[in-house]
Structure 1
Amino acid sequence: MTMIRRSFLASLAAAGLALAAGPALARQLSLGEISGYLNGLQSATSGFTQINGDGSIQTGTMYIKRPGRIRFEYAGDRSMMIAGGGQVAVFDARSNTGPERYPLNQTPLSIILERNVDLGRAGMVTGHSSDGTKTTVTAQDPARPQMGSIQMVFTADPVELRQWVVTDDAGRKTTVVLNDLAAGAGISDAKFNIRSEMSNW
């Protein structure tokens, strides 16, 4: 296990202990409250730490502008992932070719980017629980369950999205832990313009 991975996992454990040592247990959020929170999250920025299926760790900055738009800029190189215009483009700084592209509705991340998030839809939520400090919801697209799922973690009072785990159609898991989420940020639409980024690339 690398030094950075040991350090990150230790910090996660410390954060978990800090939450557990809090003065009161957090209530379990309802699906309606979570849907309302996501629908109200029109734009936001956040630092993030990403744990990939192979155990590697990346950090960077995330920009979200609902509906349908999100951007991850990875620290250390030019790599990024952009969703916009119904498409997802993955720009890999190690590749000599253009970005890998696929429809947004083929990734479970599309669930939180929908114009109207409704976790109460039949067949969407496959898990909903609380451990006393946070509420965890696992959701899938009822029309495309084979495309995978997203497990979201929220804290309450005020409601805030803290992390998610995306499981893709091949069973690979990618965890994104958010830090310093700032809602209501002014973000230019240009950040989600895949064609423009392809030209610059």
Structure 2
Amino acid sequence: MNPVTKTLRKPIVVAFAGAMALALPASLAVPLASASAQSNTSQLDRAVRALRAITTMKADFTQTDRSGNTVNGELTLKNPGKIRFEYGSGTNMLVVSNGDALTLVDYEVNQVERWPISNSPLGALLDPSRDMRRYGTVQRTANSDVISIEVADPNKPEYGTITLIFVENARAPGGLQLTNWVALDSQNQRTTVRLRNHRYGMAVADSTFRYRDPRRSSRRPG
């Protein structure tokens, strides 16, 4: 297996699970203890609303692992719950969600791995009653135009921690644009994903979130 592809497998899944877990409105039923807590909750709510305001989005991404290996590709998002990471040449891999399951397809070794969304933070997409404060906490930043949200499921440490960075942008849905995130898995492997060239509101067919199963195409005739 390409060593770069191998190092990308888990971090991109962790990063995606965390990012999409945030795409659910936070419950406002919990009383707030201080003005600081109110400010943090307001920022978390803004980030959640900004993600949910996206109907469709495309963006170019650059993904870098802890060793400095970098790959590029295009991300396509369609709410609710559909996303596709299309990697560029040299990385024969695909990560896609059809809204029900997250799938990693490795065409180099003809392998497919699937995770039910309900078994990950992605389950938040399917249960509107879940409180996003279980997953997201606001981190301090030096720039008032930047909101940093750390996402983790305390009951599933194997998913690691993801920090999502939003920047004020009046042209983005909800007035915030997701610019990058940093995923830290349970083995302290760090992966950074940076987005650029955001485009919103285009038509995206549901077929975009399907994939060719390499296990079928690689079978020999009986």
For normalisation by structure 1, the TM-score amounts to: 0.70
RMSD, aligned α-carbons: 3.0
Partner of 1:171: 188
Partner of 2:141: 130
- Unpaired runs of 5+ in structure 2? 1-39, 171-175, 218-222
| 2:207 equivalent to 1:187 | no
CA displacement, residues 121-145 of structure 1 (integer Å, 9 cap, x when unaligned): 4432244222215221101235534
Partner of 1:140: 152
* Relative contact order, higher structure (CA 8 A, sep 6+): 2
CA displacement, residues 98-154 of structure 1 (integer Å, 9 cap, x when unaligned): 32222345556x38x826889974432244222215221101235534422221001
For normalisation by structure 2, the TM-score amounts to: 0.64
State the one-letter code of the partner of 1:48: F
- How many residue pairs end up in the alignment? 169
State the one-letter code of the partner of 2:161: S
Distance 1:117 1:181 in 2: 27
Partner of 1:153: 165
Partner of 2:213: 198
Percent of aligned positions that are identical: 23
Partner of 1:10: none
1:160 to partner: Cα distance = 0.6
Identify the match of residue 91 of structure 1 among 105, 115, 124: 105
The SS at the match of 2:134 is: coil
Q: Is the 8 A contact 1:46 1:180 kept in 2?
A: yes
Distance 2:51 2:95 in 1: 21
The SS at the match of 2:182 is: strand
CA displacement, residues 50-88 of structure 1 (integer Å, 9 cap, x when unaligned): 012443100011101122211111111442111224222
Do the aligned partners of residues 34 and 119 (structure 1) sit closer, same or farther apart at CA in structure 2, a change above 3 Å counting? farther
Q: Is the 8 A contact 1:35 1:119 kept in 2?
A: no
